[in-house]
């Protein structure tokens, strides 16, 4: 409907830059970053390295490029990489690990997105001179497909120790590591201390328009810089984007708690409207997954869109809502009311057999 306020809950990637970010972009000191001469990029990389307790950082255009650059920098073609089977790198990067790095992903199903320690141990222990080399163990925190679950620090540590004991490296795809940190109270540098390298995104809940950061040793980042160039991710006056990213990391972290609280309220409202469709106690950060087997999910999503509430249908039985800075508590209440109306109206689907 024209003029209707939209409640955008499909993803936290829909967040738009704040006024302060735009002003910082306008004022940013710029140079050619492919020549290593953009002062704003250099300063952001140093700042993030310091924040995470790593030697160096590299600004990349996206979380996907951060992941794929790291993967290539940390492995050799033919190596094996252990990852949880629903990780972003497995499901949503279009086979890039095999195309770009020539690695084989060894997948393990992990409840709540956690790589099961026993399975990781067995996989590493079963490697010998006849098998491919397991060179990397990949964790994702928060874990998107499991509903934004936080991987606890002790778990990250245990898995990373197994990797290291087996001669492999450990990595965190921390696209939403600040959500994990705010929800758990664990500083990001504590997660970072357990692994050889990690990446995180400025362009999700933190609200910057573009960009991610890869962090690790200076040696790794030197290698990653060449790979980024190979992938076409070297950018010229990139300080323009880094200026917004700097505001994101400096000013937008603490408010993630508000998104988490909104997600909990949303989950409770959805659970009241459709009992059993969501477990509010499993909502730890900003993601709410609603499972509606036997219901016409497309009709429910269409009805919510007609109310101006944008949620995403993920497959035939699942809906996703991700809270973010663009949606306040009134928007959350609108989403609950819209969902309640939609599930009330939608007819159950006959399930054959």
C-alpha distance from residue 338 to each of 123, 305, 311 (Å): 46, 9, 11
Residue 274 phi/psi, 5-degree rounding, is -140, 80
Cβ proximity to ligand PLP: between 175 and 266 the closer is: 175
In 3-state terms, the chain is what percent helix, strand and coil (to 5)? 45, 15, 35
CB of 320 to ligand PLP, least distance (A): 11
CB of 97 to ligand PLP, least distance (A): 13
What's the N-to-C CA distance of the chain in angstroms? 40
CB of 177 to ligand PLP, least distance (A): 10
Cβ proximity to ligand PLP: between 205 and 269 the closer is: 205
CB of 96 to ligand PLP, least distance (A): 10
Task: Measure the CA–CA gap between 130 and 74, rounded to whole angstroms.
Answer: 21
Cβ proximity to ligand PLP: between 11 and 338 the closer is: 11
Q: Between the CA atoms of 205, 209, 210 and 215, what dihedral angle is there, to the nearest 10 degrees?
A: -40
Cβ proximity to ligand PLP: between 197 and 271 the closer is: 197
CB of 61 to ligand PLP, least distance (A): 8
Q: Look at residue 106 and give its three-state secondary structure.
A: strand
CB of 86 to ligand PLP, least distance (A): 10
- What would the two tokens of residue 79 be? 């190596």
Cβ proximity to ligand PLP: between 203 and 285 the closer is: 203
CB of 128 to ligand PLP, least distance (A): 32
Q: Which residue is nearest to ligand PLP (CB)?
A: 63
Q: Look at residue 266 and give its three-state secondary structure.
A: helix
Instruction: Residue 272: count other Cβ atoms within 10 Å of its Cβ.
Output: 13
Cβ proximity to ligand PLP: between 206 and 278 the closer is: 206
Strands 287-291 and 318-322: antiparallel
- What would the two tokens of residue 253 be? 């972290």
C-alpha distance from residue 257 to each of 34, 75, 261 (Å): 36, 36, 6
Cβ proximity to ligand PLP: between 62 and 119 the closer is: 62
Cβ proximity to ligand PLP: between 64 and 181 the closer is: 64
Whether the Cβ atoms of residue 164 and residue 26 lie closer than 8 Å to each other: no
Task: List contacts with ligand PLP (CB under 6 A).
Answer: 62-64, 67, 88, 140, 144, 173, 175, 201, 203, 212
19 CB contacts (<8 Å, ≥6 apart)?
A: none
CB of 276 to ligand PLP, least distance (A): 26
């Amino acid at each position: 409907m024209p003029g209707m306020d939209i409640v955008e809950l499909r993803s936290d990637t829909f967040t738009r830059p704040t006024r302060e970010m735009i002003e910082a972009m306008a004022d940013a000191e710029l140079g050619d970053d492919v020549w290593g001469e953009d002062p704003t990029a250099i300063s952001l990389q140093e700042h993030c390295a310091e924040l995470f307790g790593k030697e160096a950082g590299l600004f990349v255009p996206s979380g996907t490029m951060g992941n794929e650059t790291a993967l290539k920098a940390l492995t050799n073609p033919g190596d094996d990489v252990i990852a949880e089977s629903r990780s972003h790198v497995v499901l949503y990067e279009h086979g890039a690990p095999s195309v770009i790095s020539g690695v084989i992903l060894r997948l393990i199903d992990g409840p709540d997105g956690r790589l099961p320690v026993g399975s990781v141990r067995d996989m590493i222990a079963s490697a010998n001179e006849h098998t491919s080399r397991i060179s990397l163990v990949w964790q994702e925190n928060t874990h998107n497909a499991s509903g934004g679950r936080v991987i606890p620090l002790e778990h990250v540590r245990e898995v990373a120790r197994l990797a290291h004991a087996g001669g492999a490296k450990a990595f965190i795809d921390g696209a939403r590591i600040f959500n994990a940190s705010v929800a758990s109270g664990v500083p990001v540098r504590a997660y970072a201390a357990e692994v050889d390298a990690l990446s995180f995104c400025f362009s999700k809940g933190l609200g910057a328009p573009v960009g991610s950061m890869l962090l690790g040793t200076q040696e790794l980042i030197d290698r990653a810089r060449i790979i980024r160039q190979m992938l076409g991710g070297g950018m010229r006056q990139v300080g323009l984007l880094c200026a917004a990213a700097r505001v994101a990391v400096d000013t937008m972290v603490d408010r993630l708690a508000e998104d988490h609280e909104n997600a909990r309220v949303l989950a409770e409202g959805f659970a009241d409207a459709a009992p059993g469709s969501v477990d509010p106690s499993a909502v730890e950060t900003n993601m709410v997954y609603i499972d509606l087997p036997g219901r016409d999910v497309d009709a429910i999503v269409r009805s919510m869109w007609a109310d101006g509430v944008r949620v995403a249908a993920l497959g035939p039985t699942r809906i996703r809502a991700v809270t973010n800075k663009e949606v306040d508590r009134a928007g959350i209440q609108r989403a609950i009311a819209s969902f309640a109306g939609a599930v009330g109206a939608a007819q159950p689907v006959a399930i054959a057999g």
